[in-house]
């Protein structure tokens, strides 16, 4: 089941990346909320693909061969497979090697990026930038974008600033394991 496989990949990367990692159940619960969205990135011999998964909309698949342009395809939930063994025609294998993900909320004209992570040995290959681009383009109806990041995470902070995010505030001692300030960023259209 492809959705189960994607959630498994996100869960493993979540545990490897964050000291305050979300559980697999938390990730599944997040996907059950109408306003949440997950972008998962895959790399294959043919190129790249990003799956946009949201409970309230059909699945959007962005694909790009190595020598071509990005294309968009819409897949209905019925054709995608929602961890249901009765859906015999559903795809059950991942579309390549899992490279990373974003979890975000889209509520009204605001959006908040909750999680972004890239597989360790694929960092530096623009996967984080591509994911952030897809998220920001997909949430184009939003006027304000928010996110928070550990103060010491200079790589992520550089990415956000390069994408046009501005530092909004510092949340003292927000993170634990280790205790650290969070920097809140905002992007306005």
Q: Which of 39, 41, 160, 165 is catalytic?
A: 160
Angle (CA) 19-16-100 rounded to 5° is 115
- Token match 């939003």: residue? 142
Preceding peptide of 182 cis, ω within 30°? no
Q: How far apart are CA 84 and CA 74, in angstroms?
A: 20
37 within 8 A of 30, measured Cβ to Cβ: no
Active-site annotation holds for 160:
yes
Q: Which of 14, 62, 148, 187 is catalytic?
A: 148
- Token match 């997909």: residue? 138
Active-site annotation holds for 148:
yes
Q: Which residues are catalytic?
A: 148, 160
């Amino acid at each position: 089941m492809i959705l189960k496989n994607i959630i498994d990949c996100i869960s493993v990367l979540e545990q490897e990346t964050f000291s305050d990692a979300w559980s697999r159940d938390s990730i599944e619960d997040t996907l059950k909320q109408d306003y949440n969205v997950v972008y998962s990135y895959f790399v294959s011999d043919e190129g790249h693909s990003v799956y946009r998964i949201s409970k309230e909309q059909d699945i959007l698949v962005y694909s790009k061969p190595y020598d071509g342009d990005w294309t968009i395809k819409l897949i209905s939930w019925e054709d995608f497979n929602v961890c249901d063994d009765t859906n015999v025609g559903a795809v059950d294998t991942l579309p390549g090697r899992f490279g990373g993900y974003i979890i975000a909320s889209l509520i009204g004209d605001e959006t908040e990026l909750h999680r972004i992570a890239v597989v360790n040995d694929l960092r530096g290959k623009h996967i984080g930038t591509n994911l952030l681009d897809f998220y920001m383009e997909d949430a184009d109806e939003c006027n304000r974008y928010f996110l928070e990041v550990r103060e010491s995470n200079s790589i992520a902070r550089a990415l956000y600033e390069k994408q046009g995010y501005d530092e909004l505030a510092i949340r003292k001692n927000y993170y634990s394991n280790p205790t650290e300030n969070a920097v809140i960023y905002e992007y306005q259209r």
